[in-house]
């Protein structure tokens, strides 16, 4: 999927003095939107960038590049955690003596790859959204670094990495059904929070690699670099001419027309639910032709109880509640509707998943899987 590339080096300014006044409303915080920020194409002073960001995220720390080099042992390969469209991510450790009020802790440092798929605009979007929004199921952005062309972000460290790695990693124990549902519910709560904010946020790149897990498998959404402010007033969607996201997760109406809404995220959430159900990757070119696209292969089977039994992840070995699995399958089917209107809201998804947390009609015995 084509991804538009952001600016490498530029200055961020508020569109007008009124934008600064919008940050405070009757003594309470009001979120600043990405649309409130202007990004001129000509290079300007970096000092102005920091001033603008200070209005966005007053709780964020500014880190010099040298401090992040030291924290990650000069971005050592031994500290490498992974890499996405933004760039490589390294584990580091910040000392409590670095900043007043900042406790000593492990961190994840994301470094912008100037030759990668994302750029300065995505780096800034991450700061704007995660710098202002706080929720138990959103990863915490601690601070950032902006020196010359270097752009880095510093997050809380998530001990178990991404859901993608936990779900699809070879030679590891399968995630139990209860853990999968815990993750699904946590991710749904995070997405619902974004959708129901005073100024709704469309995630636009919801996928298993952007769902991070702490040591207790609590799910937190990360990487809001492609996020977009949602429609306001009577509008049902926003339109973009630049299709951004990840193959297999993007909603059909977004791919075809560029129409984005919170229901576009619901479709992507349905894809993740399908991965949790089946244990399969969303696109797998190693499988037979008809099974390479997970959604195309599995969605028609979600409404048939007999067929559903055979597409649920065989690594679970039958250890799952059949009633719960049927309800999750029905929910997944609705989320994956070809049209946005029939899809449920994320708050409805949360309610359904909450009702399934205590189901315990577990099938005892081995799960017989017949390879097709």
pLDDT one-digit tens code per residue, 224-283: 888 888 777 666 677 776 777 788 999 999 999 888 999 999 999 999 999 999 999 999
Claim to verify: residue 175 and residue 306 sit in the same structural domain: yes
Same-domain pairing of 134 and 211: no
Confidence (pLDDT) at 89:
95
Domain end position, chosen among 131, 156, 181: 156
Below-70 pLDDT ranges, the chain: 1-58, 116-118, 233-236, 241, 359-372
Last residue of a domain, one of 156, 173, 192: 156
What is the extent of the structural domain holding 120?
Answer: 13-156
Same-domain status, 184 and 309 = yes
347 shares a domain with 223: yes
Residue 234 has what pLDDT? 64
Catalytic residue flag (residue 214): no
Residue 332, domain member (yes or no): yes
Q: Number of folded domains in the chain?
A: 2
- Same-domain pairing of 274 and 183: yes
CA dihedral 271, 275, 276, 280 (to 10 degrees): 170
344: in domain? yes
- The tokens for 115 are 């030759």
Note whether 148 and 171 are same-domain residues. Answer: no
Q: Which of 36, 66, 150, 205 is catalytic?
A: 205
Whether residues 75 and 194 fall in one domain:
no
Task: Specify the pLDDT at position 367.
Answer: 46
Identify whether 350 is part of a domain. Answer: yes
State the pLDDT at residue 117. 61
pTM (predicted TM-score): 0.84
Domain end, chosen from 156, 175, 205, is at 156
Which CATH number is 151's domain given? 3.30.200.20
Residues composing the chain: 372
Query: Residue 55's pLDDT is what?
Result: 54
Residue 117 lies in a domain: yes
Is residue 1 assigned to a domain? no
The pLDDT of residue 214 is: 97
Q: Would residue 8 count as lying in a domain? A: no
Are the C-beta atoms of 32 and 128 separated by less than 8 Å?
A: yes
- Beta partners for 362? 321
| Contact assessment for residue 262 and residue 195, using Cβ atoms and an 8 Å cutoff | yes
What lies within 8 Å, CB to CB, of 187 at 6+ separation is: 137, 163, 211, 219, 221, 269, 272
């Amino acid at each position: 999927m084509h991804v538009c590339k952001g600016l490498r080096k530029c200055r961020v300014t508020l569109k007008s003095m009124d934008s600064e006044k919008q940050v405070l409303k009757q003594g309470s915080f009001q979120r600043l939107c990405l649309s409130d920020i202007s990004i001129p194409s000509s290079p300007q002073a970096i000092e102005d960038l920091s001033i603008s960001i200070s209005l966005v995220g007053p709780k964020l720390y500014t880190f010099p590049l040298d401090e992040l080099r030291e924290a990650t042992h000069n971005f050592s390969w031994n500290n490498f955690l992974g890499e996405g469209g933004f760039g490589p991510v390294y584990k580091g450790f910040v000392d409590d003596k670095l900043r007043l009020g900042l406790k000593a802790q492990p961190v994840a440092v994301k470094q912008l790859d100037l030759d990668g798929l994302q750029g300065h605009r995505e780096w800034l979007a991450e700061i704007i959204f995660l710098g202002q929004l706080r929720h138990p199921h959103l990863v915490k952005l601690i601070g950032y670094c902006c020196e010359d062309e270097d752009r880095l972000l510093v997050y809380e460290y998530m001990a178990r990495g991404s859901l993608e790695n936990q779900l699809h990693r070879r030679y590891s124990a399968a995630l139990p059904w209860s853990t999968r549902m815990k993750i699904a519910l946590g991710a749904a709560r995070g997405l619902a929070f974004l959708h129901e904010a005073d100024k709704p946020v469309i995630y636009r790149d919801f996928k298993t690699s952007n769902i991070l897990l702490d040591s207790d498998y609590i799910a937190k959404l990360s990487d809001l670099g492609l996020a977009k402010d949602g429609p306001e007033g009577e509008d049902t969607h926003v339109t973009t001419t630049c299709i951004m996201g990840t193959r297999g997760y993007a909603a059909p109406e977004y791919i075809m027309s560029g129409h984005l809404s919170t229901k576009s995220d619901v479709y992507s959430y349905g894809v993740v639910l399908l991965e949790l159900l089946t244990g399969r990757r969303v696109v797998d070119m190693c499988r037979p032709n008809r099974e390479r696209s997970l959604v195309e292969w599995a969605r028609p089977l979600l409404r048939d109880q007999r067929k559903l039994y055979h597409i649920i992840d065989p690594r679970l070995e039958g250890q799952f509640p059949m009633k719960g699995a049927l309800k999750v399958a029905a929910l997944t089917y609705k989320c994956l509707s070809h049209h946005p209107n029939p899809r449920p809201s994320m708050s409805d998804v949360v309610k359904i998943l909450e009702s399934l947390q205590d189901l315990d009609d577990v099938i005892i015995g081995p799960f017989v899987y017949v390879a097709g």
